[in-house]
Structure 1
C-alpha cells in the first residue's frame, strides 16, 4: 500500500512531536525501534503509522512512570515484526517456539506471550483531508477578483497614459461584454490551472503514480469561454458601455481586491 508524500510528511511531523515529549532514554529507544520498523519487510505506510503509534505508547508509558522497554519482549526486533504483522520469522526461531510449546514451562511462555500481545501497538489509520469543494460562492469569488483586477489594470494604465500626456479616452469606457468575458474567463483560467496542477498526492494516492491531466474538464471550460466570446461578440455594441474615469476604475479595482477575503473568506468558528 503506497503513501503520498504529503501524508508521509504529516505522519513524520507527528512522530517528531511525540519524540519531543520523551526523555533522552526513551528517545534513544524510539530511534532504535524506528530503525528496526523502517528496515522491516512491510510497506511504508504501515511502517510509519506503526512508528507513530509506538511513539504515542512510549509517551503514555512515560506518563505512567513505566519504562517503555517493558512494552516489548526480550527480542526487540522479533516483537516489532510481530506487531507489524510480519509472519515470515526465521526457521530457527520458529523451531524454538515449537519446543517451548511442548516443554513444562508452557504456562510461563503463554503468560509472557499474552502480556506481550497486550502491550502490542496497533497501527492507527490517519484521516485524509477532504478536497476543496467548488461551491457557487467559490466561483463568485473568482469572478469578483477577476473583475476587480480588470478594473485595476484599466485604471492604472489610464492614469499612466494621462500622466505621460497621452489620450485617456480609450481607458474611460468599459463595456458589459468585457466584464462578462473577464468574469467567465477568470473562472475558466483558474479551473484549468487547478486541474493542471492536481497531483495524485492530493487524493492520498501513491507518490510514484504519474499525474493525470483532466482533459475533459479543461475542454469544458475552454468551450464555455469560446461560447461567451462568439455569442457575446456580435452583441458587444448593443450591450451597455460604462464611462469611468481612470482613477475611479483604479479605486474600484483596489476596493474589490481588498474585499475578497472579507466577503468570501471562511469565517472562524469558536
Structure 2
C-alpha cells in the first residue's frame, strides 16, 4: 500500500476515535513522523497502532491503557530497531519547506501581477524582487515550520488547553533567529540587488515549483 493510501486510511480511522484517544494518537503521529524511521515503515506502524487503538476503544479502553502514559514511548523500541532514513532526508525536508515557500511566493506574485496588468494598473509591485527577499522567504519558512512543529508537539494529550514539558531553550533560539532575520532584512534588503520578474515568468516558476513538489518531494 502506498504512503498516501495509508495516510488516507489512517485519517479515516482517527475520525472513529474518541476526542481523548484521537488527541493521544495524534501525539504518536508527531513522534513517529519526527523520527528517523523510513516513511513507508512509519505509516505502516501508525496504521497498525490506529487499528489496535480502535479495537481497544470498542472494549471500553482508552489510549493510555493500551499504549501507556507517554505516546512517544510506545514506538521507542521500534524506532531503534528499524532501518533509519538516509542522512540526507532531513536536508530534503528543509529543502521541501523552502521550495514550497518560494513556489507560493511566485504564485502570489504571478496572480497579483496579472490582475494588475489586466486592470490597467502598474505591476511593478509584483515584478521587482530583492535577492535578499528570496533568501529570507526560503530560510524564514524553515524557521517558522520548526516553531510550528515544536508548538504542536507541546500541546497537552487531552482536549483541554495546556502544555506538557516544553523545550524553552530551543524555542528561544528559534525566536532569536527569527528576530535577527527580520532586523537583518530591514537593514540589508537595500544592499542586495533587485531583479525584475514579469508576472508570466512568476507564473511559470510557480507552476514549475508545483510540479517539482509533486514529482521530487512528494513521491510515494
Q: Measure how far apart 1:222 and its partner are.
A: 2.2
Q: Measure how far apart 1:208 and its partner are.
A: 9.0
Between the aligned partners of 1:218 and 1:261, the Cα distance in structure 2 is: 31
Q: Measure how far apart 1:196 and its partner are.
A: 1.3
Contact 1:156 1:247 in 2 (8 A): no
Unaligned regions of 5+ residues in structure 2, if any?
1-20, 29-48, 69-73
- State whether structure 2 residue 163 is matched by structure 1 residue 211: yes
TM-score of the two chains, using structure 2 as the length reference: 0.58
Q: Measure how far apart 1:146 and its partner are.
A: 0.7
Give the counterpart of 1:12 among 53, 59, 67: 53
Q: Measure how far apart 1:258 and its partner are.
A: 2.6
Counterparts in 2 of 1:208 and 1:173: CA distance versus 1, 3 Å? closer
- Larger Rg computed on CA atoms: 1
Q: What stretches of structure 1 move > 6 A for 4+ residues in a row?
A: none
TM-score of the two chains, using structure 1 as the length reference: 0.49
Contact 1:196 1:214 in 2 (8 A): no
Unaligned regions of 5+ residues in structure 1, if any?
17-30, 48-125
Between the aligned partners of 1:46 and 1:245, the Cα distance in structure 2 is: 55
Counterparts in 2 of 1:138 and 1:249: CA distance versus 1, 3 Å? same
Q: How many residues align?
A: 161
Name the structure 1 match of 2:181.
228
Name the structure 2 match of 1:28.
none
Contact 1:181 1:225 in 2 (8 A): no
